[in-house]
Amino acid sequence: MVIQNLRLPFLDSCVALLAACAVLLSAPDASAQEKQDKKLTITGASTAAPLVAEIAKRFESANPGVRVDVQTGGSSRGVNDARSGVSDIGMVSRALSKEEKDLKSFLIANDGMSVILHKTNPVQALTREQVIDIYTGKISNWKEVGGKDQKITVVNKAEGRSTLELFLAFFKLNNRDIKAQVVVGDNQQGVKTVAGNPGAIGYVSIGTAEFEVENGQPLKLLPLGGIAATTANVRNGSFPLARPINIVTKNEPLGLVKKFVDFAQSTAVTDLVKEQYFVPPAR
Per-chain mean pLDDT for the chain: 89
Least trusted range by pLDDT, from 71-80, 87-96, 273-282 = 273-282
H-type helices in the chain, by residue range? 2-5, 9-26, 30-37, 49-62, 75-84, 128-135, 162-171, 187-195, 206-214, 231-235, 255-264, 270-275
pLDDT of residue 173: 96
112-235 matches 32-111+243-275 in CATH topology: yes
pLDDT of residue 64: 96
Q: What percent of the chain has pLDDT over 90?
A: 76
The amino acid present at 144, given as its one-letter code, is E
CATH architecture of 112-235: 3-Layer(aba) Sandwich (3.40)
Least trusted range by pLDDT, from 14-18, 97-101, 149-153 = 14-18
pLDDT (mean) for 78-99: 96
Chain centroid to CA 212: 18
pLDDT of residue 19: 53
Rounded CA-CA distance 261/93 in Å is 16
Is 237 exposed, middle or buried, given 0-12, 13-18 or 19+ CB atoms closer than 10 A? exposed
* Domain residue ranges of the chain, discontinuous segments joined by +: 32-111+243-275, 112-235
So what CATH class is 32-111+243-275?
alpha beta
Maximum C-alpha span of the chain? 112
DSSP string computed for 197-209: -TTEEEEEEHHHH
pLDDT tens readout for residues 135-159: 999 999 999 999 999 999 999 999 9
pLDDT tens readout for residues 196-241: 999 999 999 898 899 999 999 999 999 999 999 999 999 898 999 9
- Closest by CA to 208, choosing from 184, 180, 183, 226, is 184
pLDDT tens readout for residues 43-74: 999 889 999 999 999 999 999 999 999 999 99
